[in-house]
Structure 1
């Protein structure tokens, strides 16, 4: 009880320091199937570089009721393909609207956290896993970063502090939300899958569920003599939260970059089973893209928020 109270005071203090500088506005120049999008430009942070945040609220959103919350990585890729760099999208507003309209899920809002390209690996690669890696694998990751023009300093611990201590308190104070872990989920794909797994492991009191699509176990883009997946699996064996109180969804495709993950999936499934989890779904023919993730988005959303979730 005391620990929870101190945590509450900490996040409230962090929120009050920055909240006066935050302004939001409804987005009008976007193609949405349903709901509305609220945009916050350069959400301030004392932990990481400020970045844009979009909050999607469903049709008939009202303050007189409460909503579950889904925090999603790569937030600029979720809603409108005409605004994305590759002209693809997750179709979050379409799928979420249909599921809620049909009564298949509880009502929820989506907090879309934009990435910053040069910082994506820095923010999303689990820091404690990085610390467990051999110097050879660290060098390999750094070399990959140089080729991709990344900033190589790993600061995912601070990224999660931003989400938990700054962003979530703002969302909970400005939108009508359930604030408990049972109604707070996190989702991402590729490296976004890595940070979503890391978030529920580091903050099980905050996130009750996580969905990790096409999780980038290899860390780099090279499978030869790559021991990075072993570091992830060692971390997960020790740190995944209790399956009696938490839910974790994993999946993977078989084409393009997802093909490089195939050799690890049996071990992933066995590891999850040893911790009491059962979901690591294979999608034959699916590639590593927003189009593929959008085509199967209904499944993880049902897993996170389904009214008949097992």
Structure 2
């Protein structure tokens, strides 16, 4: 019976991957390196979406590369195509660090968001489920006040991570010259992308050895008085952080716009990480004075988490 199930799994896996059509985008002055696009990655877990694979210009099948999975993929490489005309400049910064031999070579797997589903896809489910009924009702009241597009019955972060771990990663491992172990596999995002990156490291420590969480959205939505959400994340972290001897995690925050609402919670990040025996060798929680909640601010400092995760 087990053998039959295994055969069926591999058949289904191969069938799904045979449906994936990828193509290399034309070379552009806006993107340094090679950008390969899958317009609709087939999945049984979430709504299909674009997935981009970025390769450094020097990519070669003769070498093996680390892999960085990133959220909000449409915001990473080309400001001429983004909704706010901003970008992370992942391609330029990564290429520069590699050319200067400051980091081990890596590729980037950029998973696009679907705007109307983004909050439900990225909000960590287990911390929300840990809240009492009364607290959830209070949160829903605040969500309605802010007219925030969030439906607690549709939190889909567990399935979003299954999409990455069970569908995207096997495809990448099979089709690109990459290391497949946790030590060479990282995940990174900002705001809600910071929350889901933290969640991924805790839920799948055997898959991800490193996570970078920029401007992590501890408040969950918009902050409000006696907000119970941040503490639900810190409790989850304390109970689920993986072994600091084999994992690394990076946090940071600015001081302006939405990032200002995180300031009163940042001491808890340090308390929790240090209580789990994380040190300066395997965690960071950095403050960037005057920086705000935007791609322009994040691109100024992404070299720091890149070096933290992949530095030589």
Shared fold (TM-score, shorter chain, > 0.5): yes
* SS of aligned partner of 2:168: helix
* SS of aligned partner of 1:211: strand
- Cα shift at 1:17: 3.5
Match of 1:124 in 2: 122
1:295 lines up with 2:293 in the alignment: no
**How far, CA to CA, are the matches of 2:9 and 2:201 in structure 1?**
18
1:113-160 per-position Cα deviation (integer Å, ceiling 9, x unaligned) = 000111111111111011012334434554537824345410111110
2:110 counterpart (109, 112, 136) = 112
* Structure 1: segments with no counterpart, 5+ residues: 1-7
Match of 2:70 in 1: 72
* SS of aligned partner of 1:194: helix
1:55-85 per-position Cα deviation (integer Å, ceiling 9, x unaligned) = 0000121111110000000000000111000
Match of 1:215 in 2: 216
**How far, CA to CA, are the matches of 2:263 and 2:97 in structure 1?**
30
Match of 1:171 in 2: 172
Normalised TM-score (structure 2) = 0.92
Match of 1:84 in 2: 82
Contact 1:88 1:290 in 2 (8 A): yes
The 5 A counterparts of 1:1-310 are 12=10, 15-28=13-26, 30-139=28-137, 141-142=139-140, 144=143, 147-150=147-150, 152=152, 153-277=154-278, 278=280, 279-307=284-312
Contact 1:15 1:165 in 2 (8 A): no
* SS of aligned partner of 2:40: strand
Say how many residue pairs are matched. 300
Contact 1:251 1:280 in 2 (8 A): yes
Contact 2:27 2:34 in 1 (8 A): no
Contact 2:66 2:184 in 1 (8 A): yes
* Structure 2: segments with no counterpart, 5+ residues: 1-5
CA RMSD of aligned residues (A): 1.9
Normalised TM-score (structure 1) = 0.92
**How far, CA to CA, are the matches of 1:122 and 1:174 in structure 2?**
30
Q: 1:151 to 1:49 in 2, by over 3 A?
A: farther
**How far, CA to CA, are the matches of 2:68 and 2:82 in structure 1?**
21
**How far, CA to CA, are the matches of 2:189 and 2:264 in structure 1?**
21
* SS of aligned partner of 1:87: coil
**How far, CA to CA, are the matches of 1:215 and 1:10 in structure 2?**
40
**How far, CA to CA, are the matches of 1:256 and 1:268 in structure 2?**
20
Q: 1:165 to 1:19 in 2, by over 3 A?
A: same
**How far, CA to CA, are the matches of 1:208 and 1:164 in structure 2?**
13
**How far, CA to CA, are the matches of 2:203 and 2:54 in structure 1?**
26
**How far, CA to CA, are the matches of 1:10 and 1:221 in structure 2?**
45
Contact 2:31 2:78 in 1 (8 A): no
**How far, CA to CA, are the matches of 1:11 and 1:203 in structure 2?**
20
Q: 1:220 to 1:263 in 2, by over 3 A?
A: same
